[in-house]
Amino acid sequence: MTLRMPDVDGEVLARRARIVSALRTIVPGEGVIDQAREMRAFESDGLTAYRQIPMVVVLPQTTQQVSQVLSFCYTEGIKVVPRGAGTSLSGGALPLADGVLLGMAKFNRIREIDFDNRVAVVEPGVTNLAVSEAVAHAGFYYAPDPSSQIACTIGGNVAENSGGVHCLKYGMTTNNVLGCEVVLMNGEVLRLGGKHLDAQGYDLLGVLIGSEGLLGVVTEVTVRILKKAEMQRAVLIGFSTSEDAGACVSAIIGAGIIPGGMEMMDKPAIHAVEEFVHAGYPLDVEALLIVEVDGPRAEVDYLIERVEAIAKTCNAVSCQVSTSEEQRLLFWAGRKAAFPAVGRISPDYFCTDGTIPRAKLPQVLAAMKKMSEKYGLRVANVFHAGDGNLHPLILYDANNPGELDKVEEFGSEILRLCVEVGGVLTGEHGVGVEKRDLMPVMFSEVDLDAQQRVKCAFDEKGLLNPGKVFPKLHRCAELGRMHISGGKLPFPDIPRF
């Protein structure tokens, strides 16, 4: 593993036995796992390229236990890495050799469903799909729908500000969470927000969401639930160039239409899925667009017609409109199977995640084709066309020595390009460890220091998930100082303007 992680604290490791027995008094029974052979199962999340056995695994069941564990670690100077379902694709739950791996999967109850206020109060270990399933009987659902929704947890969604196909129209996790209970690294339990619709003071909940487990451990979440649309229909459009596909997306948005979802796949991706799912995708197109329109019946039928018309003006070479729910699901079956389908034609794959201004897609795709030749690695692309979030899937074989290094380089090059064309390093998978060392491509030292200072406000000892997101660790005291000389700060006199 070529990844540098924070220095291991030998002093903490020396105390390991004592630490484990102290943790066992807080979380009894099977909640503390300390044998290497068993801890190995926790050594990585969905990014299997990076693995590290933790010092000890703790699986608490109550907020009280979480608070006590964190408080203990705070006092003893022990690092903590939180983990949900371990489906992160950026290594967010990668353990530390001298740290506690805090698994939150036992927090799996839905505490309250409040249809009057259209919220659900859930524990962080509840899966994303389970929330929607729990409110389905009343015709409601939880909108953010990452592809891993069957398994990923709400707590993880909060940490990563997860998106999904429908976030184009319905927003990401941060737009769909109203409150939470969070435990800070020193064990303090705080409540932020609730069932009301805006923050009381600073939007601390807003900065917590997407903080990748660095600012606090969430122990309860209040999410918004929405009424399901009356109807959903999809259009499957094929193009002979990605430029045409991009132009079609722009035209749809330009016409004032915000589809429920808009996804694009390139030729390699289309071929990979069609072989396994047989969704009926055209094999001779360079780009395939799936546009889903949802809403009240009257609106959907009207908009589908308009989308069809727009597609024709954009040189679509094929255009199919779903006429039944079965057909709509079939259109999607291929896209949803993209990752596993790719997994069947290659022993391993690396999924990257960058966002670009949509107009830059053809340029980025062309550049990636060249990179693919340079590295000798195949790549298939799946693209959230509506919001510019790109998922290049780099195919490789982990059993080939040296291949993983090439993959990492290829991935980095793609992400640098994303930033270069005006985009960002990560759209929804998070920075984690995967993109940590690329942060300086997007942010200056000053920018990163400002973010680090926020971290200091939440966790001044820097014990919560260090080594993720930020390439450099600073001591908070050092960051907090403002340099004073001669009793005065060295700033200019009154500005002349």
Partner 1 sequence: MTDVLKPRDAKEVEDAVRWAIGHEKALELAGHGSKRAIGRPSQTDVTLDLSGLSGVTLYEPEELVLSAKAGTPLAEIEALLDKNNQILAFEPMDYGPLLGGGAGEGTIGGAIAVNLSGPRRIKAGAARDHFLGVAAVTGRGDSIKSGGRVVKNVTGYDLCKLMAGSWGTLAAMTDITIKVLPKAETEATVLVSGLDDAHAAQTMAAAMGSPFDVSAAAHLPDHVVSWFDGLPNAEAATLLRVDGFAPSVMHRKEALAALLKPFGPVAVLDAKDSQTLWRGVREVRPFAVGAARERPLWRISAPPRRGHEIANLITPAAQMFYDWAGGLIWVAMPVPDEPDAGSIRKAVAQVGGHASLIRAPASVRAAVDVFEPEAPGVAALSKRVKESFDPKSVLNPGRMWAGV
Partner 2 sequence: MQTGFSLAQLLDPQTAESERILRACVHCGFCTATCPTYVLLGDELDSPRGRIYLIKEMLEQAKPATREVVKHIDRCLSCLSCMTTCPSGVHYMHLVDHARDQIEKTYKRPMADRAIRALLARVLTDPAKFRFAVTMGLIARPFAPLLNAIGLKRMAAMLKLTPRRKPAPPIERTGKVHPANGERRGRVALLSGCINPVLAPSTDEAAIRVLNRHGIEVVVAAGEACCGSLVHHMGREAEALAFARNNIDAWTREIDGEGLDAILMTVSGCGVTIKDYGFMLRGDAAYAEKAARVAALAKDVSEYVGGLAILPLRDVRGLTVAYHSACSLQHGQNVTREPKELLANAGFIVKDVPEGHLCCGSAGTYNILEPVLAKGLQARKVANIEGVTPDIIAAGNIGCITQIGAGTSIPIVHTIELIDWATGGPVPEPLAQLAAQRAA
Return the one option of partner 1, partner 2, none that residue 35 interacts with (CB less than 5 to 8 A, by type): partner 2
CA distance 149 to 132: 10
Helical segments of 29-183, H only: 36-39, 63-76, 128-135, 154-160, 167-170
CA distance 466 to 472: 10
Return the one option of partner 1, partner 2, none that residue 103 interacts with (CB less than 5 to 8 A, by type): partner 2
> 467, 6 in Cβ contact below 8 A?
yes
Q: Mask of contacts with partner 2, 87-126, x by CB under 8 A?
A: x---------------x-xxxx----------------x-
CA distance 133 to 149: 11
Shortest approach of partner 1 to residue 369 CB, angstroms?
A: 23
The residue among 227 and 278 lying less far from partner 1, judged by its C-beta, is 227
DSSP codes of every residue in 55-79: SEEE---SHHHHHHHHHHHHHHT-E
Residue 331 in contact with partner 2, rule: CB under 8 A: no
CB neighbour list of residue 206: distance below 8 Å, 6 or more residues apart: 174, 199
Determine the interface stretch with partner 2 among 36-44, 287-295, 377-385, 464-472 (rule: CB under 8 A): 36-44
Q: Within 10 A of 470 (CB to CB), how many other CB atoms are there?
A: 21
Q: Within 10 A of 356 (CB to CB), how many other CB atoms are there?
A: 22
Residue 37 in contact with partner 2, rule: CB under 8 A: yes
- Total chain residues near partner 2 (CB under 8 A): 38
Return the one option of partner 1, partner 2, none that residue 489 interacts with (CB less than 5 to 8 A, by type): partner 1
Determine the interface stretch with partner 2 among 176-184, 285-293, 332-340, 379-387 (rule: CB under 8 A): 332-340
Residue type, 123: E
Shortest approach of partner 2 to residue 480 CB, angstroms?
A: 38
Binding positions for partner 2, 243-302, rule CB under 8 A: none
CB neighbour list of residue 174: distance below 8 Å, 6 or more residues apart: 161, 206, 209, 210
SS3 292: strand
The residue among 388 and 467 lying less far from partner 1, judged by its C-beta, is 388
How large is the greatest C-alpha to C-alpha distance in the chain, in angstroms? Answer: 77
Return the one option of partner 1, partner 2, none that residue 468 interacts with (CB less than 5 to 8 A, by type): none
DSSP codes of every residue in 213-236: TSS-EEEEEEEE-EEPPSEEEEEE
Residue 374 in contact with partner 2, rule: CB under 8 A: no
Determine the interface stretch with partner 2 among 7-15, 35-43, 208-216, 477-485 (rule: CB under 8 A): 35-43
Contacting partner 2 (CB under 8 A), which of 26, 73, 85, 223? Answer: 85
Shortest approach of partner 1 to residue 129 CB, angstroms?
A: 21
Shortest approach of partner 2 to residue 411 CB, angstroms?
A: 16
The angle, 0 to 180 degrees and rounded to 10, between the axes of the packed helices 361-375 and 403-420 is 160
Beta bridge partners of 292: 234, 261
The residue among 40 and 453 lying less far from partner 2, judged by its C-beta, is 40
Shortest approach of partner 2 to residue 46 CB, angstroms?
A: 6
Q: Mask of contacts with partner 2, 389-418, x by CB under 8 A?
A: ---------xx-------------------
Residue 132 in contact with partner 2, rule: CB under 8 A: no
Return the one option of partner 2, partner 1, none that residue 483 interacts with (CB less than 5 to 8 A, by type): none
What are 31's two structure tokens? 């909640």
Return the one option of partner 2, partner 1, none that residue 42 interacts with (CB less than 5 to 8 A, by type): partner 2
Return the one option of partner 2, partner 1, none that residue 108 interacts with (CB less than 5 to 8 A, by type): partner 2
> 227, 139 in Cβ contact below 8 A?
yes
> 141, 223 in Cβ contact below 8 A?
no
Determine the interface stretch with partner 2 among 145-153, 236-244, 298-306, 412-420 (rule: CB under 8 A): 145-153
Shortest approach of partner 1 to residue 164 CB, angstroms?
A: 10
DSSP codes of every residue in 458-494: H-TT--BSTTSS-SS---HHHHH----BTTB----SS
> 180, 211 in Cβ contact below 8 A?
no
Contacting positions for partner 2 (CB under 8 A):
30, 33, 35, 37-38, 40-42, 44-46, 48, 59, 85-87, 103, 105-108, 125, 127, 129, 148, 150-152, 337, 339-340, 343-344, 347-349, 398-399
